[in-house]
Amino acid sequence: MEITMIASRGNQVTSETVQGANLAVQHLSCDICVEECSACKRDHTTEKLDISENNSHAGSSFAHAVINMAGMLIGLGQLSTPYAIENGGWASAFLLIGLGVICAYSAHLLGKCLDKNPKSRSYIDIGQHAFGRKGRAAAATFIYLEIFMALVSYTILLHDNLITVFSGTSLDLSWAKLSTSQMLTVIAVLIALPSLWLRDLSSISFLSVGGILMSVLIFLSVAFTAIFGGVKANHRIPVLNLHKIPHISGLYIFSYAGHIVFPNLYKAMKDPSKFTKVSIVSFTLVTALNTALGFMGTKLFGPGVNSQITLSMPQHLVVTKIALWATVLTPMTKYALEFAPLAIQLENHLPISLSARSKMMIRSSVGSLLLIIILTLALSLPYFQYVLSLTGSLVSICICLIFPCAFYIKISWPHISQRLLILNVTLIGFGFLLGFSGTTFSLKSLIHTLQDAHGTRRH
């Protein structure tokens, strides 16, 4: 759920992701820094001036902004919506819609925070304006944590779909102590690895286009299956499974995670006063799409619906193979984009005396090591629904709901009305309740599943 830099000011390239992947493209300097070292300031003074000049000539229209915001929000979360509605019951769709309304409101709050301090250009800047260096550190920490956990989820997604794409394939590598699906995942990650070594972000931007196209293709494939695939949509959806709400709330909130790049979208708009309308239209479209996909998948596949809708589609259909390949290719387009902000921040802290080649070697080594860690975690925790739910409940709820409300209260404190204060404090409390219950449920489920899997292997 991501937006790339405005490539040539006439065209905006839209990309889908978990948030923050191309954050570095819009502010290549110290915006992500927790510690504002002087070397970083010196190295990027020119870029800062260029960004300020670009912001002053921002020309994104209302339609462009809606397309960009909707593109950011359509992504990984949509795959699990049918699973969430089946487990939570059809009444849980009210929670899905309600969270869409709340997240649109929190996006509006970010715009208000930017109104009050025109110097702020990013989510992290808003955090610093509200709570100083502690706010900046908290915002940066959660952004990086979300990027990391999203990449783990993408790798699990890659693993689960690869074995279906290459069903019948057997790799006899007993010496490696890896299954066929694990070896296929390792090979795919190794293929994507060189993309992390690219320094020129313009070389990476085409990956973001591929990301959103793959997401649209997946949705169309499911819709085609519902209409022409010969699958009867006659499964009964339970009314409400209250005990599963903590689990599915994390999946729902992850579907709306995109707030870390909303300030950049705001700054790119020709008329930022329309940002609230952009948020309303975009979240309405995405909420409608997620709800429609959720009910469509649940009616088609019922209790057997997978946490990834593509794995529930009839394997003999050509459209299913297209959807599976789209799902496989999507994670491979994400590694370089998600690693970009971390890589640039790393280079900012390297000694100026180092040569470009040395910096590239360090960057590549760190990127490769990080990807190996992500791969190891994904193969050790191959439970997509629990990892994604944990990401939503632990991290996304803070970025999408708790932080924007807290930032707005702090920044607007001298002038905030009592009604707005009560509303935002209530939303913060609701966010904490949802986050705590969802995190607890997801962790317990993940631990129990791991214990069961370990016990099965022993016997």
DSSP 137-152: HHHHHHHHHHHHHHHH
Amino acid at 255: S
Of 114, 140, 145, nearest to 35 by C-alpha is 140
pLDDT of residue 15: 37
Question: What letter represents residue 404's amino acid?
Answer: P
| Range 73-80 average pLDDT | 82
Task: Evaluate whether 76 touches 250 at the Cβ level (below 8 Å).
Answer: no
Query: What pLDDT, on a 0 to 100 scale, did the predictor assign at position 28?
Result: 35
Amino acid 173: pLDDT? 65
- Give the residue-averaged pLDDT of 53-78: 74
Half-sphere exposure in the Cβ direction for 65 (13 Å, CA): 25
**Residue closest to 242 by CA, chosen among 456, 88, 404:** 88
pLDDT for position 422? 97
- Report, as an integer, the average pLDDT of 65-80: 83
Mean per-residue pLDDT, 360-382: 88
Identify the residue whose tokens are 């090591």.
369
Least confident of 22-36, 61-75, 150-164: 22-36
92 three-class SS: helix
Ranking 126-140, 177-191, 229-243, 325-339 by mean pLDDT, the lowest is 325-339
pLDDT band (50, 70, 90) for residue 220 = confident
Is residue 267 within 8 A of residue 121, CB to CB? The reply is: yes
Structure tokens at 387: 């990892």
Tell me if 365 sits within 8 A of 288, measured CB to CB: no
Quick one: pLDDT at residue 239? 94
For residues 130-142, give the mean pLDDT: 94
Other beta carbons less than 10 A from residue 238's beta carbon: 16
What pairs with residue 14 in β-bridges? 3
- Whether 103 shows a pLDDT value over 60: the answer reads yes
DSSP H helical ranges for 193-333: 201-228, 245-254, 262-268, 275-301, 318-332
For residue 168, what are its two tokens?
């019948």
Q: Is the pLDDT of residue 152 over 80?
A: yes
210 in the Ramachandran plot: left (φ > 0), alpha (ψ -120 to 50) or beta?
alpha
**Structure confidence at residue 444 as a pLDDT band (50, 70, 90):** very high
Question: Of 47 and 405, which is predicted with more confidence?
Answer: 405
pLDDT of residue 209: 64
Does the pLDDT of residue 211 top 70, yes or no?
A: no
Q: Which two tokens stand for residue 214?
A: 């793959």
pLDDT at 398: 97
Quote the tokens at residue 70.
């909707």
Return the pLDDT at 168: 74
- Please give the model's pTM, rounded to 2 decimal places: 0.81
| Between 421 and 348, the higher pLDDT residue | 421
What distance in Å separates the CA atoms of residue 402 and residue 395, rounded to the nearest whole number?
A: 10
pLDDT at 29 over 60: no
Spatial distance between the Cα atoms of 394 and 191, rounded to a whole number of angstroms: 31
Distance CA 255, CA 81 (A): 8
**The pLDDT value given to residue 60:** 78
